Amino acid sequence: MSYSIVIPCYRSSHTVRTVVEETAAEMERLGKTPYEFVLVDDCSPDGGETVAELKSIADQHDYVKVICLAHNAGQHNAIICGLNYAEGDIIILMDDDGQTHPSQLSAILGGLDDSHDVVYGYYNDKKHSGFRNFGSWFTHTTVRILIGKPKNMKTSSFVCMKKYVRDNIITYPAHYTQMQGLILRTVTTDRIACVPIEHFDRAYGQSGYTLKKLLSLWSNIAGFSIVPLQATRRAGIFISACGVVGMIVLIIRKIVSKTKILGWTSTMMTIIFFSGIIILTLGVVGEYVGRMFLTMGNYPQYVVREIYGRDGSGKDDK
């Protein structure tokens, strides 16, 4: 049994070495060998400090492979990149900041058995900032509504999976990815275990998540579901129904009370009715477009600029 630890890296020159070396020590202690690390630099905007640190780690440890991306692809696309280069039978996903601590590996790996193909670690006591905790809540709620994740299924970025899960995930062609969505489309929920683990303080700096990135992540989740399009269609039906009811009421009032119907009122009812029809039509067409979007997409998820280490490639070019 071999293991691959995939770590997306973004401005982590001060923390990633500790994460790698402590994780390697824990894997040795647990007897989980052989193992490899796939470190993916997501085009960190730090003047090359992260890339230099990753290459230094690869120079010192032959179990480390470094993938440098040509542009910032986002955390989830960087993970997809790492999965493409991971060769182990068991894949472990971790963060680069020390919050997904190596000491919790025994709990994560212990949950992987014949009955479970994916194991998530979850935190009872999170060490994130208030905004990041809100972002996590928002993401989990969105995934539950749009993708159908069970309410009692607790997740985090600390996860391990069997190789067949990885093999299926990397076949997803679209640019807009989200790991929970990819895992849930691959594995039934009864094959996913969730184990409690301790969440550690961030070793250095602060989270790079912003409101813009949070909204981008939400749009990626929406790409795995046609629920928003279905909601749009239902809204069109409701608005059309309101327009029809309004016109019926006006007609009855005119017949019963001989009330003069002002022109602007009937005009507004007509506008509401046909606006509903338009929204309904767009919703139906959008659902077909959405289905096409879910299965087609040729914009690259990531672009690899350089591969360094593990098999020796790149080391002679220093």
Same domain, 38 and 166: yes
The pLDDT tens digits for 217-228 are 666 666 666 677
CA distances to 33, 63, 94, 162 from 37, in Å: 12, 6, 10, 16
- Same domain as 46, residue 10: yes
The answer to whether residues 140 and 251 belong to one domain is no
Q: What contacts 24+ positions apart, CB below 8 Å, involve 265-271?
A: 269/243, 270/243
Structurally, the chain folds into a number of domains equal to 2
Stretch 119-145: mean pLDDT? 72
Mapping DSSP to helix (H, G, I), strand (E, B) and coil, where does residue 74 land?
Answer: coil
Tell me the C-alpha distance between 22 and 41, whole Å. 19
CB 142 within 8 A of CB 221: yes
Contact 196, 124 (CB under 8 A): yes
Same domain for 234 and 263, yes or no, is yes
pLDDT at 109: 95
- Tens of pLDDT, residue by residue over 10-43, are 999 999 999 999 999 999 999 999 999 999 999 9
Both tokens assigned to 273: 């009715």
Are both 206 and 232 inside the same structural domain?
no
Tell how strand 64-69 and strand 192-197 pair up.
Answer: unpaired
**Do 283 and 195 fall into the same domain?**
no
For residue range 34-74, what is the model confidence (pLDDT) as tens digits? Answer: 999 999 999 999 999 999 999 999 999 999 999 999 999 98
Does the structure show a pLDDT above 80 at 205? Answer: no
For the segment 110-117, the average pLDDT, to the nearest whole number, is 93
| Strand 90-93 versus strand 3-9 pairing type | parallel
Q: Indicate the pairing of strand 304-309 with strand 35-41.
A: unpaired
Q: Give the pLDDT confidence score for residue 317 in this predicted structure.
A: 43
Please check whether residues 234 and 220 belong to one and the same domain: no
Packed helices 227-257 and 263-295: angle between N→C axes, nearest 10 degrees: 160
**Rounded Cα distance, 83 and 163, in Å:** 10
Q: Are residues 163 and 284 in the same domain?
A: no
Q: What per-residue confidence (pLDDT) applies to 99? A: 86
Same domain, 147 and 275: no
Whole-model pTM above 0.85? no
Q: How far apart are CA 178 and CA 200, in angstroms?
A: 24
By the 8 A CB rule, do 96 and 137 touch? no
**Are 122 and 153 within 8 A, CB to CB?**
no
Q: pLDDT for 291-308, tens place per residue?
A: 666 556 667 889 999 999
Q: What is the pLDDT of residue 318?
A: 37
Same-domain check for residues 187 and 96: yes
pLDDT interval class at 215 (50, 70, 90): low
Q: Report the CATH number that the domain containing residue 58 is assigned in CATH.
A: 3.90.550.10
Tens digits of per-residue pLDDT, 135-187?
Answer: 667 777 777 777 777 777 888 889 999 999 999 999 988 777 888 889 988 99
Domain enclosing residue 289, as ranges: 227-295
DSSP classification of residue 246: H
Average pLDDT over residues 228-251: 77
69 with 95, same domain?
Answer: yes
